Amino acid sequence: MGYRIGVDVGGSFTDFAVFDETDGRITTLKVFSRPDEPGAEITAGLSTLKARDGLDPAEVDYFTHGTTVGVNTVIQRNGHDLALFTTRNFEDVLQIARLKIPQIHNLYSVRPEPLIARDRVFGIDERTLATGDILAAPRDEDIKTALRAAQAAGCKGIVIAFLNAYRNPANELAAKAAIERLAPGLPVFSSAQTWPIIREYERTITAVISGYVQPRVSRYLDRFETVLRQEGLACPLLITKSNGGVMGIDQARADCVQMILSGTASGVIGAGYLAKASGFDRILSLDIGGTSADVAVIIDGLPQYGVGELIGDFQIHIPSVSVSSVGQGGGSVAWVDGFGMLQVGPESAGSTPGPACYGRGGTRATVTDAVAACNLIGHMPLGYGAVEVDRAAARAAIAPLATALASTIEATASDIIDISVSGMYAEVSGLISRFGIDPRDFHLFAFGGAGAMLACFLARELDMKGVVVPPTPGVVSALGGLIADLKNDFIRTVYCDVTPEAMAGTAAPYRELKAEAEHWLRQKQGFSGPARVQVFADMRYQGQSYEIDVALRGEWLEESDADAIANAFHAEHERLFGHASADQPVQMINLRLTISGATPKPYLGERTPTSEPARPRLSVDAWFDGRPTSTAIYHRDDLAAGHHLSGPAIIAQDDTTTVVPPGFAVDVDRFGNLVITRAEA
């Protein structure tokens, strides 16, 4: 028996969760992230764990790691310089996209600038038919001409996305081989190898995002592995995936698109586990770190899954935990635009220089500085003693904005918080509509370094049932990686009607997917325990433009049971949209299979209740809703199961600060969670 460690590297802090397999105890830690020297935060954390807890790296037999480096690269648009090779006359695929503006009710909304500029998109004479037959193969001379132009433009990598490559990737693979022969060492990405789905834009943007983040992710993982081996860890290294599972580090390097939502998915898995163990069956998870705020729907401990998740300004079409990310993190920078309007994000101050109030060289105002200027944090150390909040520095950073807006520092700080919450509200509203849920039936499960600071403000806007803050909210993502299962997804485009005759042709693809999945789990991952296999299909009524995700049973495919498959679709359509048309023909577009192998889970113990009243350590004037209010300051260590307190209140602890506005009340449940509800409810 040894140790299992989960690590989550965020934009500002790196979190550790350590599970002692001998006694089932979990210990936690936060250290500053080091984007200037990736891996240094791992060394610092392990050194602290050695000195503080006596942890021996040689006794670590399981190590998982989640990171936001991929999603942050897209949000901040600082990824690889790429060229796109596409079928001749399809060069505008990224500009046209789906001809939809991001916000259909906003007349000023515009589509974002593509990650690859139009002058770096090159058409190649080739054509694969929808049947998979090759009408024209790419010629080496065309590839050579496009490659020279791309290199002359300064491109450091090539993405290939040809028409109908999902059906037959031969032309893409031939072009890739030619580029690798002509320019050895130049990164080349094939859309069919990245994720072979129907629809040109969806497949292309997924491949573009993969190529955009791959060099940075790969360099990061190389450094990460080197540091861990130097520290004496000999166990296999696992990386959390967008689908909430884990994979080996070698697969992560080659298939980094699968870990684009690595850190965010880890948080959702951790939140689902803690919520279910604590008896909360319907939650929205709110993970606010240094760069982004991430929200997901979790029912009965299970996250909702889907494709087309938003990564910054773009959708990525791989199976993933359904997380909506918005550039409104604790480190998001506030600024005044050319029209004199206050804006927040998406640029983040990160860990270095960080918010001004952290005293690490930051001078621009961030959301955290706004919270500090409102006197809501800084009364006790943060980050396990790593941070002493400098409220004077926060005020100094906000002062230029206040001057530009002809306002006060406190009012500007309050506006920064409101704008940040407003951005989250817009994203959460879309997520609520997508899954057809009523937020009044849900608790907001707040975690991450800044989640508990802003959760009550967001829950108030959404009229939610309440807010739940777990005992160690700052390291939930690290815990999620620690308990995540081995998991992988496999897909085939079948594009057929749901009839007995057509369904007879889906048995073979299903068996192929199942064989691939078993090989991945048993041979590539070396897992010998029981496996869980889930089957899904992307389905629609004939004539509809988009599909919904429908859970199926393997035996339905084996037995060509078209009625059962169609009925499953009708039921899901009814659940999502409130209606179904059982007499209308149904189509199946993609067949997907997910395989997973369970890992050990820690036990969540109950706390001894108390009948003593909760006592604050001090009282301060803090700004709520634009005015100073006398506010009690508590420390989380002083609160026990059974305690009740009323807002306004601030609850400090090592890894975060919980802000309870006026009109809210807090109860500590038997698991040590802070359960926050509207006082009048």
* Cα of 604 vs its chain's centroid, Å: 25
CB atoms within 10 A of CB 660: 27
Can you read off the two tokens belonging to residue 352?
């270095």
Residue 21 pLDDT: 79
Residue 681 pLDDT > 60, yes or no? no
Query: Does 117 have pLDDT greater than 90?
Result: yes
Q: Angle at CA 621, nearest 5°, toward 375 and 390?
A: 25
Q: What is the pLDDT of residue 499?
A: 95
Per-residue confidence at 108, pLDDT binned at 50, 70, 90?
confident
Report percent pLDDT > 90 for the chain: 53
DSSP 442: -
Q: Which amino acid is at 473?
A: P
- Rounded to whole angstroms, what are the CA distances from 401 to 327, 335, 348, 353, 373? 20, 7, 17, 19, 13
pLDDT (tens digit per residue) in 33-76: 877 777 788 888 888 998 888 888 889 988 988 877 887 788 77
Does the pLDDT value for residue 381 go beyond 80? Answer: no
Residue 1 has pLDDT above 60, yes or no: yes
> At which of 418, 437, 466 does a domain end?
418
Span 484-530, pLDDT tens digits: 888 889 999 999 999 999 999 899 999 999 999 999 999 888 888 99
pLDDT surpasses 90 at 409: yes
Using alpha carbons, select from 51, 15, 53 the residue that is nearest to residue 32.
15
- 188-209 average pLDDT score: 93
pLDDT digits (tens, 9 = 90+) for 237-296: 888 888 888 888 888 888 888 888 887 788 888 899 899 989 999 999 998 887 778 888
Q: Tell me what the mean pLDDT of segment 338-346 comes to.
A: 90
At 595, the amino acid letter reads I
Buried b (16+ CB within 10 A) or exposed e, 416-426: bbbbbbebbbe
What token pair was written down for 416?
Answer: 């920064």
Would you call 294 helix, strand, or coil by DSSP? strand
In a domain, 567, yes or no: yes
397 found inside a domain:
yes
Tell me, yes or no, whether 323 lies in a domain.
Answer: no
pLDDT, residue 410, reads 95
Residue 171 lies in domain: 81-186
Site of tokens 């802003």: 454
**Cα–Cα dist 259/248, whole Å:** 11
Query: Is residue 318 situated within a structural domain?
Result: no
> Is residue 6 classed exposed, middle or buried when 0-12, 13-18 and 19+ CB atoms within 10 A define those classes?
buried
* Cα gap 298→321, rounded to integer Å: 10
Q: Residue 664's pLDDT is what?
A: 96
CA distance 346 to 312: 9
Global pTM reads 0.77
Number of domains composing the chain:
3
Same domain, 410 and 511: no
**Strand stretches in 88-128, DSSP E:** 121-124, 127-128
For the ranges 323-332, 549-558, 591-600, the maximum mean pLDDT occurs at: 549-558
* Burial category of 407 from C-beta neighbours within 10 Å (exposed 0-12, middle 13-18, buried 19 and up): middle
Q: Is residue 126 part of a domain?
A: yes
Tokens 């967001």 belong to 458
Shared domain for 397 and 494, answered yes or no, is no
Q: Is residue 48 domain-resident?
A: no
Same domain, yes or no: 94 and 179: yes
Q: Give the pLDDT band (50/70/90) at residue 378.
A: confident
Number of neighbouring beta carbons within 10 Å of residue 472: 23
Choose one of 551, 579, 597: the last residue of a domain: 597
Q: Dihedral angle at the C-alpha atoms of 79, 292, 435, 191, nearest 10 degrees? A: 10
Q: Residue 539: which CATH number?
A: 3.30.1490
Of 186, 210, 225, the last residue of a domain is 186
Confidence category of residue 383, pLDDT binned at 50, 70, 90 = low
The separation between the first and the last C-alpha atoms of the chain, rounded to the nearest angstrom, is 48
Q: How far apart are CA 379 and CA 381, in angstroms?
A: 7
Alpha helices, DSSP H, located in 89-182: 93-96, 140-152, 170-182
Q: Is the pLDDT of residue 373 over 60?
A: yes
What pLDDT is attached to residue 680?
Answer: 63
Judge whether 267 lies within some domain: no
Residue 492 lies in a domain: yes
Do 413 and 507 reside in the same domain of the chain?
A: no
